[in-house]
A and B are shown apart, each in its own frame.
Chain A
Amino acid sequence: MSWLYLIILIPFLYAVIVPLIFKHIPQIHTGWFVLPIPVLLFMYLAKYVTFVAMDSPFIHSVPWIPSLGINYATYVDGLALIFGLIVTGIGALVILYSIYYLSKEREALGNFYVYLLLFMGAMLGVVFSDNIIVLYMFWELTSISSFLLIAYWYQRKSSRYGAQKALLITIFGGFAMLAGLLMLANITDTFSIREMILRADKTTAHPLFLQSMVLLLLGAFTKSAQFPFHIWLPDAMEAPTPISAYLHSATMVKAGIYLIARFTPIFGGSMEWFWLVSGVGMITLFWGSFSAVKQVDLKAMLAFSTIGQLGMIICLLGLGSAAMYYGPVKEAALCIPAILAALFHLVNHSTFKGCLFMVVGIIDYETGTRDIRRLGGLMGLMPVTFTLAVIGSFSMAGLPPFNGFLSKELFFTGVLNASRLDIFRMETWGMLFPVVAWIASIFTFIYCMVFVFRTFAGDYQPQKLEKINNEPAWGMLLPPAVLASLVILFFFFPSLLAQYLLMPAVASVLPGFVEASLGIGPIEAWHGWTPELIMTIGVVVVGMILFANYHKWSRFYGYIPVWFTLNFAYDSLLVKTEKTFEKITRGYMTGFIRDYLLYIFAFFVVVLAGVILMLNSFAFNPDVNNVSMYEVVLVFVMVVAALMVLLSRHRLVAIISLGIMGYLVAMFFVIFRAPDLALTQLVVETVTTVLFLLCFYFLPDLKNKIGEIGFKAANMAVALGFGLIVTVIALSAQSNRLFETISWFFENSYELAGAKNIVNAILVDFRGFDTMLEILVLCIAGIGVYTLIKLRLDSRKVSSKNR
């Protein structure tokens, strides 16, 4: 029996009581109460390692909305477990770090830890969910908790800006992903990812294959900050540093990677997937490392570095997906190292980047700045921090004896292998991959050097710092130290990691390939004078030269015009969209009822004319419409009266013309032999005309005050069209009496209801309910008029008080 589905919910449940703890136990830092959660979760998840290594995945399903196939299903395999351990492991370290980073006196810790726990639970949910709807739910929740955490200091304008940007981009991606997932669900007729994988052959042949793939990738690319959606990540650095270390480098931004890895069994093996994933990844790798070099804010530098590193992992996943093209045969062996490298680097990146972010947090905390132009020479002040920074950066640069070296070598293996592929037009374009990878690695090397040496070496400039302190408390040093020691540990014992975590994960990305044992060699630090090693040496040599001459060529970055940047595009897109939308809305929402009526009548005319023409539904049957002379005359007079209402220049004339129309209607009742209706109509007409005259006596003269209304052709056309349509439908309806009316029933009114007058019987008996409600209408109208006259609230007083 697995309790995993409950375990994932623990962070959510705990988030409910955190505000209470914060409120009632203010003397102890709330973080201490939160810390046990990720620690326990980590220990619990670690239990699964041995099971998963023996290739026995767990599935457990709890019904949520079973009627719609939405079940809360948790699934543990190698891939999910890697992410789960990173989320809880780094989570524990980050919380420990945050206890010393955030002051319990000044900060709203309750909010902070609630958001953090929400995120942790959501992220675990994303990686362990098998049901796509549940996965989507947790996916959006990670975006939302990230939004809340970025704007943790919501008083700052830049925080709010960053939060909104992140939310818009990731939610946009989330919606796209939802559409993609729903298409997949339609194709495979299931919400379960595992079953989708089993029915993958259905997907490949489906006409919506490409659409669902692109939409899904949009979700992954926005979340993992891939080019050109990466722009939200640097602005997300407004979040407190522990959050940047946790969400925006180690975990949340890797959700996209998880998604791509998870869906490789479905989409992998197609050319589009291969090129989209690896191409976007490669561009992002280049652009991220290229942009990182020019940053002067340490956190921004790390943000761009993260973008680049994520691109690298995604590129590897794309290259490795080619294995699906071959199936588990010998040719696929070229591709598998790429997947292994991706997963290995994923782990490594979490360790060294987490460590580096925490180092930046320490520098910021102790000196009050993160600007490398103001920093320098901190080596003497903070030797421990310096050591940690060296370990982290050198690992990122791909130097031994750190884990980054191993995964960088594997990365080179991956791209070199890919360039030897002879499918997907790789024969032509394949060489691009090693070349771009190599150049990007040089930039990576440079900014790593900048990070270490511009901060810790060089001249110490205390006058530029806001405060000067030495090493921080042990609690801030311990978490990065743990990560740094992992960086070294993984270098010396990579096969341990590979056996228990990486290979099971490879097995979930490429099902059926690991069993086929296609000769994936162990990860080793030394494997002779391979091309990979030569590339690495090249990176170091060229990187050193460029770093030494940094001031000479870095000016080049200044030549990129502002309007050319994606950020500028995003900002102006947002502003322009809002402006354009405002213009559009103001354009038609004029506030004048005559315009609104014009739209309504025009719509009426166009749509109904269209329908009548399309269906050819106009019919005129002279037999049914035996029109008498009287009726023709009456109609003619009515038309004249109506025109007079419009054209008259005096109210009196208009009112009288209106009265004429009413009396003519009464005449129609006479012709159709309904004397009581005619009488009623006459009375009503008389009364209303008198009332009108009474009221209009007090109104200004039409001609003088309101003036001439100009002739408008469009209005005329719409008015005529409207009249025409109504008439045409009336004639057609009259000529198309398909059924006998139910009125025969009422002719028997004397027997049925004891009434000699059929109209009365209908009004008070057969349809008495209508009459009752109409009386209610009159009653409401009466009281309404009374209130309208009596109750006049001063509008100024109202707007403030009675809203």
Chain B
Amino acid sequence: MIMNNLVAFPLLIPLLAGLIMAIYRKSIPFQRWFSLFSFSLICIISFYLIQQVSIEGIQILELGGWQAPFGIVLVVDMLSALLLMTTGFIGLTCVLFAFGSIGEEREQFYFYPFFQFLITGVNGSFLTGDLFNLFVCFEVMLISSYVLISLGGNKIQLRESIKYVVINTISSTLFLVGIAYLYAVAGTLNMAHLSVRVAESGQPGILTTVAVLLLIVFSLKSALFLFFWLPGAYSAPPTAIAAIFGALLTKVGIYAIFRTSTLIFYHQLEITHTLLGVMAALTMLFGGIGAVAHWDIRNILAYNVIIGVGFIVSGVAIFTPASLIGATYYFIHDMVMKALLFLLGGTVIRIVGSNKLKEMGGLIRNHTLLGWMFFIAALSLAGVPPLSGFIGKILIIQEGLASGAARAGFYWLAAIGLLSSLMVLYSLMKIFINGFWGETLLAQDMEKGDTKGLLLPCVLLTAAGIIWGVGAEIFYPFVEQAGESMVNPNLYIEAVLREVV
């Protein structure tokens, strides 16, 4: 197989773009255009990679020419390619939203470079085929997110960022500890090589224990059950940043769970995947409880992020080919819809000047488009067909309800999944009914902020969501391929290790 240099581009583009922009920090128009350029380029290249992967199979790049497992490899399989594409698209929309909302001060203080660095870390995590490099990419992403969350330095931001930083530092330390243990036992950190060796050894108890340790680490990152840091952290920063957090950061943790539990540790499902199932169920329950309990937009949305995490992971926990395809469908849907939801919610807060539902009403009279986009987003997240969430939801629920299959007995997970959909709908409709319906409290000239330039990114995301649902058939071959490479780790292994084992 020939190396594909294109594989490194989704990581290099934002890295270089960020560095260049950091030099010209006073020139805001330049940074804006360059951000758009960078994200468009990521989208185009990811699109091209999707094509390549679908035709030629998994693409790899051995960095520095050192063969796996000795050097670091970047790997693009269909799951990575789809996630890269989605990330590029979401980055584009969030940056568009930032133009009109983030404010000149933040723009001058490296907002756009940090944004690019964040995407560097995210894309790197999706690309890397090496567990230690994954840790490094996490670090790039996290340090950028630390800065972004505190950028502007107001009181709430500082208060919440302390918690965020402490908890993430601890989870990074545990990640490192887990990597060390794994290296001690398996003697390698290349994921494909790990997969081979774990399979060879039959995954004895010690490996399962380390797997669970890593699972806890990724749960901390992805807010799977260990989500306590999330609601505060996601409600502190400005909307454009909160949206990219809600859409991407937890998803990187989920991606790591996908990778490790489908590629490496899949020999003791009754331990690892049952634990995943239990954690997913608890996540959905507590997320749902939190979403229903609150009466302010930011908290409701933050808890909805948590519910989504639980639902995606249920697909991995059930671990059948169809449930993995469903989880992939839902994964990408959730990224797009969470970005949309945060942007819409942020716009509402901007208009009203308040976060509390009891202080708003009747917005739909003057903001019809905004209202209906919110309505569509809410229905999508509840999994109402033909909007984006339904294919994933139906596949996961159906597999959960299946009996007689190898992985039977997930009725409870399916039931909680459906219950959580109801809670999602209730909590989001609460925003719609109280915020958009009712007596119009604010005349148009009394509004605290305008929506100039903010609706375009929302429209783009809404359209993407609808296409993802209605056009599910168009994407099916790709999603199926992503599912296939998860079900059949050999595809990944053969691509990465070539002949060498």
Q: B472 in the interface, Cβ–Cβ < 8 Å?
A: yes
Q: A51 in the interface, Cβ–Cβ < 8 Å?
A: no
Pair B292/A581 contact, Cβ less than 8 Å: yes
Pair B154/A178 contact, Cβ less than 8 Å: no
Q: Across the interface, which residues of A come within 8 angstroms of B429, CB to CB?
A: 164, 167
Q: Across the interface, which residues of B come within 8 angstroms of A64, CB to CB?
A: 473
Interface segment, one of A236-244, A347-355, A794-802: A794-802
Pair A584/B188 contact, Cβ less than 8 Å: no
With contact pairs A65-B473, A726-B177, A783-B22 given, residues A140 and B106 touching in the complex (Cβ less than 8 Å):
no
Q: A767 in the interface, Cβ–Cβ < 8 Å?
A: yes
Q: A716 in the interface, Cβ–Cβ < 8 Å?
A: no
Pair A68/B391 contact, Cβ less than 8 Å: yes
Q: Tell me which residues from 438 to 458 in chain A have a Cβ below 8 Å from any Cβ of chain B.
A: none
With contact pairs A133-B385, A777-B143 given, residues A67 and B480 touching in the complex (Cβ less than 8 Å):
yes
Q: A612 in the interface, Cβ–Cβ < 8 Å?
A: yes
Q: Tell me which residues from 106 to 132 in chain B have a Cβ below 8 Å from any Cβ of chain A.
A: 106, 109-110, 113-114, 117, 120, 124, 132
- For the complex, what is the distance from the CA of A577 to the CA of B422, rounded to whole Å? 13
Q: B332 in the interface, Cβ–Cβ < 8 Å?
A: no
Q: Tell me which residues from 598 to 621 in chain A have a Cβ below 8 Å from any Cβ of chain B.
A: 599-600, 603-604, 607-608, 611-612, 614-617, 619
Q: Across the interface, which residues of A come within 8 angstroms of B228, CB to CB?
A: 588-589, 595-596, 599-600
Q: B41 in the interface, Cβ–Cβ < 8 Å?
A: no
With contact pairs A593-B166, A801-B103 given, residues A179 and B401 touching in the complex (Cβ less than 8 Å):
yes
Nearest-CB residue, chain B, relative to A593: B163
CB distance from B290 to the nearest CB of A (A): 5
Pair B403/A787 contact, Cβ less than 8 Å: no
Pair B449/A611 contact, Cβ less than 8 Å: no
Nearest-CB residue, chain A, relative to B436: A154
- For the complex, what is the distance from the CA of A737 to the CA of B216, rounded to whole Å? 23
Q: A637 in the interface, Cβ–Cβ < 8 Å?
A: no
- For the complex, what is the distance from the CA of A604 to the CA of B113, rounded to whole Å? 36
With contact pairs A599-B228, A800-B353, A803-B346 given, residues A774 and B139 touching in the complex (Cβ less than 8 Å):
yes
- B 274-316 to A, binary, CB cutoff 8 A, 1 in contact else 0: 0100000000001001101110000000000000000000000
Pair A179/B226 contact, Cβ less than 8 Å: no
CB distance from A731 to the nearest CB of B (A): 10
Q: A629 in the interface, Cβ–Cβ < 8 Å?
A: no
Nearest-CB residue, chain B, relative to A19: B368
CB distance from B471 to the nearest CB of A (A): 9
Q: Chain B binding site: helix, strand, loop or mixed by DSSP?
A: helix
Interface segment, one of A180-188, A307-315, A389-397, A662-670: A180-188
- B 58-101 to A, binary, CB cutoff 8 A, 1 in contact else 0: 00000110100111100000000000000000000000000001
Q: A544 in the interface, Cβ–Cβ < 8 Å?
A: no
Q: B57 in the interface, Cβ–Cβ < 8 Å?
A: no
- For the complex, what is the distance from the CA of A557 to the CA of B155, rounded to whole Å? 59
With contact pairs A182-B397, A593-B162, A802-B152 given, residues A738 and B239 touching in the complex (Cβ less than 8 Å):
no
Nearest-CB residue, chain A, relative to B132: A770
- For the complex, what is the distance from the CA of A160 to the CA of B432, rounded to whole Å? 10
- B 346-388 to A, binary, CB cutoff 8 A, 1 in contact else 0: 1001100100000000101000000000000001001011100
- For the complex, what is the distance from the CA of A63 to the CA of B471, rounded to whole Å? 12
- B 133-156 to A, binary, CB cutoff 8 A, 1 in contact else 0: 100110110011011001111111
Pair A614/B271 contact, Cβ less than 8 Å: yes
Nearest-CB residue, chain A, relative to B393: A178
Q: B463 in the interface, Cβ–Cβ < 8 Å?
A: no
Q: B426 in the interface, Cβ–Cβ < 8 Å?
A: yes
Pair A67/B64 contact, Cβ less than 8 Å: no
Interface segment, one of A168-176, A564-572, A679-687: A168-176
Q: Across the interface, which residues of B come within 8 angstroms of A596, CB to CB?
A: 163, 167, 228-229
Q: B220 in the interface, Cβ–Cβ < 8 Å?
A: yes
Q: How many A-B residue pairs have CB under 8 A?
A: 305
Q: Across the interface, which residues of B come within 8 angstroms of A777, CB to CB?
A: 136, 139-140, 143
Pair A736/B212 contact, Cβ less than 8 Å: no
Q: Across the interface, which residues of A come within 8 angstroms of B480, CB to CB?
A: 67
- For the complex, what is the distance from the CA of A650 to the CA of B380, rounded to whole Å? 56
Q: Across the interface, which residues of B come within 8 angstroms of A745, CB to CB?
A: 70
Q: A582 in the interface, Cβ–Cβ < 8 Å?
A: yes
Pair B290/A803 contact, Cβ less than 8 Å: no
Tally chain A residues at the interface, Cβ within 8 Å: 103
Q: Tell me which residues from 389 to 441 in chain B have a Cβ below 8 Å from any Cβ of chain A.
A: 390-391, 394-395, 397-398, 401-403, 414-415, 418, 421-422, 425-426, 429, 433, 437-440
Which one, A164, A597, A617, A776, contacts B209 given CB within 8 A? A617
Pair B437/A784 contact, Cβ less than 8 Å: no
- For the complex, what is the distance from the CA of A794 to the CA of B220, rounded to whole Å? 32
Pair B205/A577 contact, Cβ less than 8 Å: no
Q: Across the interface, which residues of B come within 8 angstroms of A765, CB to CB?
A: 64, 66
Pair A175/B271 contact, Cβ less than 8 Å: no
- For the complex, what is the distance from the CA of A317 to the CA of B110, rounded to whole Å? 69
Q: Across the interface, which residues of B come within 8 angstroms of A136, CB to CB?
A: 385
- For the complex, what is the distance from the CA of A584 to the CA of B285, rounded to whole Å? 11
Q: Across the interface, which residues of B come within 8 angstroms of A787, CB to CB?
A: 109-110, 147, 151, 153
Which one, B181, B187, B384, B394, contacts A730 given CB within 8 A? B181
Pair B293/A178 contact, Cβ less than 8 Å: no
Pair B183/A175 contact, Cβ less than 8 Å: no
Of A154, A168, A186, A730, the most chain B CB neighbours within 10 A belong to A154
Pair A739/B197 contact, Cβ less than 8 Å: yes
CB distance from B495 to the nearest CB of A (A): 19
Of A141, A596, A736, the most chain B CB neighbours within 10 A belong to A736
- For the complex, what is the distance from the CA of A172 to the CA of B70, rounded to whole Å? 54
Q: Across the interface, which residues of A come within 8 angstroms of B102, CB to CB?
A: 802
- For the complex, what is the distance from the CA of A186 to the CA of B408, rounded to whole Å? 12
Pair A175/B238 contact, Cβ less than 8 Å: no
Pair A733/B185 contact, Cβ less than 8 Å: yes
Q: B55 in the interface, Cβ–Cβ < 8 Å?
A: no
- A 394-420 to B, binary, CB cutoff 8 A, 1 in contact else 0: 000000000000000000000000000
Of B101, B150, B426, the most chain A CB neighbours within 10 A belong to B426
Which one, A63, A154, A185, contacts B364 given CB within 8 A? A154
With contact pairs A64-B473, A776-B117 given, residues A597 and B143 touching in the complex (Cβ less than 8 Å):
no
- For the complex, what is the distance from the CA of A798 to the CA of B154, rounded to whole Å? 8
**Told that A68-B476, A741-B188 touch, could you supply 16 new A-B pairs with CB distance under 8 A?**
A65-B391, A167-B429, A176-B418, A577-B292, A584-B289, A589-B231, A596-B163, A608-B212, A615-B208, A739-B197, A767-B71, A767-B72, A769-B72, A773-B136, A777-B143, A798-B238
Can you list 14 A-B pairs, Cβ within 8 angstroms, ordered by A? Answer: A68-B472, A163-B433, A186-B401, A588-B228, A593-B167, A597-B166, A599-B228, A608-B213, A619-B206, A770-B133, A787-B147, A788-B150, A802-B105, A803-B346
Closest 9 CB pairs of A and B: A617-B205, A615-B205, A802-B103, A795-B154, A784-B147, A741-B187, A137-B385, A154-B437, A581-B293
